[in-house]
Amino acid sequence: MAKPKLIVFDLDYTLWPFWVDTHVDPLPQGQKWRRGLQLGVASRTGEVSGANQLLSLYNLNQYLSLKEIYPGSKVTHFNKLKADSGVQFSEMMFFDDEQRNITDVSRLGVHCVLVPNGVTMKLIREELVKFSQRRPVT
């Protein structure tokens, strides 16, 4: 089964169910499910310090090999992710709650998933299957 080499998550209303600069509720403990996948985050938040603090508080940094957290275009984030990881856009998957980010990043050739209600393990598994059905094994 073909797998993406890099999976990237937005932060606010995707990886956690709030904006980092509004309110904070504890999240349930996540699962270790990487199995050789690189994980990264890309966020346009202006609250860079708060986002990094939450990643640390929720012990998510241990799973992340790449982080692009700063205001600006998600296209800029993804160009940097590609340069830093060596992973081609066609080998990436991206989860975000904003349609404009999905539209912009999908133009690069990234497999994008709109998550208006946040990401779940069930959704990730479903999208891994869809990804593998669209791409040959490399």
Q: List active site positions.
A: 10, 12
Alpha carbons 115 and 79: distance in angstroms, whole number: 22
Alpha carbons 97 and 13: distance in angstroms, whole number: 6
> CA of 108: how far to CAs of 34, 72, 94, 119, in Å?
24, 16, 11, 22
Report phi then psi at 116, rounded to 5: -65, -20
